[in-house]
């Protein structure tokens, strides 16, 4: 049982005898003693050091959340890797197939040639010099059409390559952000779990703090000594 102790101090010198003044009224002393006794009992039983640990819901959350973050992160990496492969291929080739455009130009040239043959055959001048001149002009126009197709294809190839190169940079940045976000999310989960673990490890210290705050915070121990005419 804890008892309220009264501290006193003796003064030297003349005057009246020292007087001890209790700062706690007499009626409150039994209640404070009772609080101290209960704190002593609870501390001895280990009741002051209890902390809440993980529970099934938290355990399930930690496990499922961690796995979900890992799974989604890996899926994101796979998608970005596939995209990067396509971008790299586009940056290498960059162009498009001009075969269809050239086939169309050839077909149109053949149709014009057939028209020339029909025109000059009807007038009886098939194979004449005038027909050959017109055929030459037509052939030159077809060659110019081919050159235009190649020029546009080269320009588009350059644009496609530059676009792909820029997109590769964004892809790398996206992978970096994905990794950083996953690491941060896992770190938060780990930090939360570590806090709970640390609380468990600190249960003894917590019990001691609670015990001390009850016992040494007991105002019944406080007293003042007043003496008359002394030092």
Q: Spell 3-29 as b/e; 16+ CB within 10 A means b.
A: ebeeeeeebeeeeeeeeeeeebeeeee
Domain ranges of the chain: 5-9+15-51+203-209+220-231, 71-201
Name which residue leads in pLDDT, 49 or 226. Answer: 49
Closest C-alpha to 62, from 202, 195, 174: 195
| pTM exceeding the 0.85 threshold for the entire prediction | no
Q: What is the pLDDT of residues 17-32, one digit of tens each?
A: 666 666 667 777 777 7
- H or E segment and range at residue 22: strand 19-22
Say how far apart CA 6 and CA 4 lie, in whole Å.
Answer: 7
pLDDT at 126 > cutoff 80:
no
For the chain, give the mean pLDDT.
Answer: 76
Q: Give the pLDDT score at 19.
A: 64
Encoded tokens for 54: 């993980």
């Amino acid at each position: 049982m804890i008892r309220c102790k009264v501290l006193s101090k003796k003064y030297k010198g003349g005057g009246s005898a020292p007087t001890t003044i209790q700062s706690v009224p007499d009626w409150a002393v039994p209640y404070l003693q009772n609080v101290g006794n209960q704190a002593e009992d609870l501390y001895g039983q280990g009741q002051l050091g209890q902390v809440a640990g993980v529970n099934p819901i938290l355990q399930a959350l930690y496990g499922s959340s961690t796995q979900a973050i890992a799974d989604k992160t890996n899926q994101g990496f796979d998608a970005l890797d596939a995209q990067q492969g396509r971008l790299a291929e586009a940056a290498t080739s960059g162009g498009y197939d001009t075969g269809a455009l050239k086939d169309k130009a050839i077909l149109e040239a053949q149709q014009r040639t057939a028209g020339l043959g029909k025109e000059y055959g009807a007038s009886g001048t098939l194979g004449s010099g005038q027909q050959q001149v017109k055929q030459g002009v037509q052939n030159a126009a077809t060659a110019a059409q081919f050159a235009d197709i190649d020029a546009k294809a080269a320009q588009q190839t350059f644009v496609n390559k530059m676009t792909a190169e820029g997109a590769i940079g964004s892809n790398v940045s996206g992978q970096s952000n994905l990794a950083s976000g996953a690491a941060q999310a896992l770190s938060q989960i780990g930090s939360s779990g570590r806090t709970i673990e640390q609380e468990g490890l600190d249960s003894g210290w917590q019990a001691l703090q609670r015990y001390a705050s009850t016992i040494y915070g007991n105002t019944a121990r406080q007293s003042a000594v007043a003496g008359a005419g002394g030092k």
